[in-house]
Structure 1
Amino acid sequence: MLDDMGIFWRGVVLGVIIAAPVGPIGLLCIRRSLERGLPTGLATGLGAALADAFFSGIAAFGITAVLNVITNNMPLLQVVGGLFLLIVAVHSLTQEPKPLAAEPVAGNLPAAVFSGLFLTATNPVTILGMSTLVVGFGNTRGPVEDGTLVGGIFIGSLLWWVFLCAGVTLLRRHVTARTVHWINIGTGVILGLLGAYTLGSALWH
């Protein structure tokens, strides 16, 4: 039992390490938490955490057939992920600046979960980095330990998104329309550059 708890907490730490670097999902969670409130930001993070758990499970259980399929189809994943990033970037850049609503409307939460999952699942860098971390630092001994590790990774990733989205929501009342405008511009530029780089990497591979 103590060994299982140690593996679980190792997974929690890995989950935070995987989720914490600021990337497309982090930017989306920040923007959605500001514009649509905490539930939408958390829903986006939940989708990312589900993808983290799925791919870490593949790595932990050593399902090489699935890893080979992902690796062999990496260019396609890059094209799909790059196009998705460009679409989100255009939306951010063309969105009209307006004051934040006093009571934000969450909108379509299942769609927010799907977008977080989809964006994470089509990011080759995230997939390969996650696999390397799990294989390199997991060191488990069987299916029970592997499952415990994956569960810890999911919890750790989710805890990071709760921390990030809750922090942004607490600051929400101090954010002006001008700040939202620059957040949208910055998000659009960064996501656009990431999308163009991802798409270019696939086309000129």
Structure 2
Amino acid sequence: MDASLIVQGIVIGVILSAPVGPLSLMCIQRSINDGRLHGILSGIGVATADAVYATVAFLGLTAISGFILSWQDFFRFLAGLVLIVVGIKIFLTRPRAEGDRSPHESYAKDYLSMVAIAIANPLTIIFLMVTLPGFGFVIGGTTLFAAVEFVGGFLAGSVAWWIIMCGIIGSVRSLISTGSLVLINRASGLFIICVGAVMLISILFALAGKAGGI
């Protein structure tokens, strides 16, 4: 066993998970509105999708990574649409009062929805393909056992981050007033909508530039 691979996997997993972006805000919003476990499972969904991309990047699966990158505009367009829809839903969501027994989304739906959204973001594999060589990995020259060690560490680091972050946020939920929850939903929803819109606009400009260059 190569402990250094596991440690490097943990470090990269945390680095990839830590920045606050639209997916992080969705997990935070679920932690606040539905409870810490909903947020944690949503975060684990993101970690699962990232681990898939980490496996592809680490093993240097050229055919798969090439397919993903060749269709990245389509995947990003799809992800942008999904983010806009989700952002609108969050923006319009009425926070549940503490002790509200109204039904939540199922844990399975929390997990699977975030896997689907995160897997539609090809920027993750681009980040990993740029980052891994910097840690001394030779793309395409690694073994399956080494990949298991690295991806296991990567998944552990990412999952630990989501458990800590969503656990803390879910724990202080009772200290946040309903009015503040409304503002959090509005701000989070608006930010996610804007990120989705920027993704769509950037892709449309890129496609227009390609068409103009033909």
Q: Same fold (TM over 0.5)?
A: yes
Report whether the alignment pairs 1:49 with 2:50: no
Larger radius of gyration: 2
Q: What is the deviation of 1:137?
A: 1.7
- Structure 1 unaligned runs (5+)? none
Which deviates more from structure 2 when the two are superposed, residues 105-114 or residues 158-167? 105-114
C-alpha change, 1:103 and 1:17, in structure 2 (3 Å) is: farther
> Equivalent pairs: percent with the same residue?
30
* Residue number in structure 2 paired with 1:121: 119
Contact 2:57–2:125 under 8 Å retained in 1: no
Q: Which residue is 1:86 aligned to? A: 84
Which residue pairs with 2:165 in the alignment? 164
Q: Which runs of 4+ in 1 moved over 6 A?
A: none
CA distance, structure 1, for counterparts of residue 102 and residue 94 of structure 2: 16
Paired residues of 1:14 and 1:153 also in contact (CA < 8 A): yes
Matched residue count? 203
- Do the aligned partners of 1:30 and 1:168 also contact (CA within 8 Å) in 2? yes
1:197 corresponding residue in structure 2: 198
Counterpart residue number, 1:61: 59
Aligned-CA RMSD value: 1.8
Q: 1:189 to 1:67 in 2, by over 3 A?
A: same
Tell me the residue number matched to 1:187: 188
Write out aligned runs for 1:145-164 (5 A).
Answer: 145-164=146-165
User: Which one-letter code corresponds to 1:147 in the other structure?
Assistant: V
Mean CA deviation greater in 100-109 or 15-24: 100-109
Matched residues in 2 for 1:114 and 1:71: separation?
A: 23
Deviation at 1:204, TM superposition (A): 2.1
CA deviations on 1:33-90 (whole Å, 9 max, x unpaired) are 1111122111111111111110000000010111110111011101110010000111
Normalising by structure 1, report the TM-score.
Answer: 0.92
Deviation at 1:98, TM superposition (A): 5.0
**Alpha-carbon distance in 1 for matches of 2:120, 2:59:** 21
Q: Secondary structure at the match of 1:96?
A: coil
Paired residue for 1:34, among 23, 32, 35? 32
Q: Which stretches in structure 2 are left out of the alignment for 5+ residues?
A: 207-214
Opposite residue 173 of structure 1, the aligned amino acid is S
AA matched with 1:51: A
Q: Kindly state the Cα deviation for residue 144 of structure 1 after the two structures are TM-superposed.
A: 1.4
TM-score, normalized by length of structure 2?
0.88
Question: Quick one: which of 119, 132, 135 aligns to 1:134?
Answer: 132
User: Equivalent residue for 1:25?
Assistant: 23
Residue deviations 1:138-177 (CA, integer Å, cap 9, x gap): 5275321122111110111101100111110121110110
Could you tell me whether the CA contact under 8 Å between 2:33 and 2:96 is conserved in 1? no
Distance change (3 Å), C-alpha of 1:25 and 1:41 = same
Q: Which moved more, 1:111-120 or 1:48-57?
A: 111-120
